[in-house]
Amino acid sequence: MKSFLSSCTTGGCGAKIGPGELSKVLSGLPVFQDPQLLVGFDASDDAAVYQINEDTAIVSTVDFFTPMVEDPRTFGRIAAANALSDVYAMGGAPLFALNLVCYPEREDIQDLGEILAGGAEKLQEAGAVLCGGHSIYDREPKYGLAVTGRLDPRRIWKNNTPQPGDRLILTKPLGVGIVMAALRGEMAEAEAIEAALASMQRLNKYAAEKARDFPIHACTDITGFGLLAHAREMAGGSTTIVLHPSELPYIAQAYTYAQGYLLTAAGQRNRNFMEGAVEFKDIPFPLQELMLDPQTSGGLLLSVPGDCAQEALRAIQEAEPQAALIGEVVSRQALPILLR
C-alpha cells in the first residue's frame, strides 16, 4: 500500500471535477420528467430522492475516489463515511450499499481486502447492509459506495431552500484538504494528521440525528467544492449567505500550512469558480483558503430558523463539540456570498 499515494495524481474529494466544468457537462443532458422524482441532478443536490408512497421515499447516491492516506483500512473507512454522508445530508437514513472498486493488478490483493473491511466497519456503524458491488482493474486504486436510504418525503433536507432569518451551523472543522496536502509534502505534524483522519472517519450520522429534532430549512455536506461553493449552491437565486470567517471551526495547523502555501489544485479550482460570487477584501489569505479547501467527508452545513439556532447548536455539540454557528441567511443581495 505504500506506493498508493505516489501513484495517485490526487486523492479524496480533491479529485472531484470542478463545479464550473461539471455544470457545463450536466447542462447538455436531457431533462427527465417523473412526478415521483422529488430531487434530481438538476438541483445539484447531494442525492436523488424518489417517492414510493405518501410516507416513504428512497434516497440514492454514489461516491468514490482515490486514496488520500497510506493505510488501506483507514482509506476504506473514510471513503465509506464520505459516501454515506449524502444520505444524512438529505435528512435520510441509509439502508444498504454496494461497493465500487477499481484496483491495480500490480498491488497486493490483501490491501484491497483491508479497504473493503474498513468500508464494512462504517456500514455496520451506520446500521446499513452491504449487499454486493462491482470491481474492475485500473491504474489507480479507487473505492466508494452506491448507497440507498429512506426518508419521509415531507421532511427532505434540500440544499437550496434556506430562508431569510436562518442561521448556519457547520458541524465539522475545515482544513482536512490542506492537512492532506501537507502530508503529501511530508510536512504535516502528527497532531494535525490525527485530527484530519478522525474528522474524515466520523459519520455525519450523529449530527444529523441531533438536527432532526429541529426544523431544518436546508442542508448540504461540505466536500470537494469547499465551504464557499457549497454555500453558493445553498444560496440559490433568492437568498444570500452571510459567513463570519472569524467564527469558522478549523484544524489549527491547517491555517499555518495555508500561510505557507501548502495548497491544493482543487482549492484553486474552487477559487476560480467563486470569482464574481464573493469578495474577500481584507480576509487573511489562510482563512480564504480554508473556505475554499476541498473537504473529504466534511461536515454538514445546516440552515436553521434563527429562533432555535442556539438550541440546535447545543444539541449538535453533544455529538460534535467543534460544531459552530458560522453565519446567517438574508434576502438576496448583490452577491450570493458575503463575508463579514
Mark out the alpha helices in 141-189 (DSSP H runs).
176-184
Q: Is 138 annotated as a binding residue?
A: no
C-alpha cell, 146: 452506491
233/221 Cα distance (integer angstroms): 11
Q: Is 45 annotated as a binding residue?
A: yes
Neighbouring C-alpha atoms within 13 Å toward the C-beta of 24: 5
Q: Is 63 annotated as a binding residue?
A: yes
Q: Is 211 annotated as a binding residue?
A: no
Q: Which among 148, 166, 151 has a CA at the least distance from the CA of 91?
A: 151
64/8 Cα distance (integer angstroms): 14
Q: Is 55 annotated as a binding residue?
A: no
Q: Is 132 annotated as a binding residue?
A: no
Asked if residue 107 lies in contact with residue 67, where contact means CB atoms within 8 angstroms, the answer is no
Residue 321 backbone dihedrals phi, psi, to 5 degrees: -60, -25
Asked if residue 171 lies in contact with residue 300, where contact means CB atoms within 8 angstroms, the answer is yes
CA 14 to chain CA centroid, Å, is 11
Q: Looking at 13, 102, 131, 308, which residue is catalytic?
A: 13
Q: Is 152 annotated as a binding residue?
A: no
SS3 category, 154: helix
Asked if residue 295 lies in contact with residue 230, where contact means CB atoms within 8 angstroms, the answer is no
Asked if residue 80 lies in contact with residue 87, where contact means CB atoms within 8 angstroms, the answer is no
Neighbouring C-alpha atoms within 13 Å toward the C-beta of 336: 18
The torsion region of residue 165 among left (phi > 0), alpha (psi -120 to 50) and beta comes to left
Strand blocks (E) in the chain: 37-39, 48-51, 57-65, 93-103, 129-137, 142-151, 166-170, 218-221, 239-243, 300-305, 324-331, 337-339
Q: Is 16 annotated as a binding residue?
A: yes
Told to judge if 13 belongs to the known catalytic residues of this protein, a careful annotator would answer yes
- Binding-site residue positions for ATP: 16, 43-45, 63, 86, 133-135
- Residues catalogued as catalytic: 13
- Binding-site residue positions: 16, 43-46, 63, 86, 133-135, 221
- Binding-site residue positions for Mg(2+): 46, 86, 221
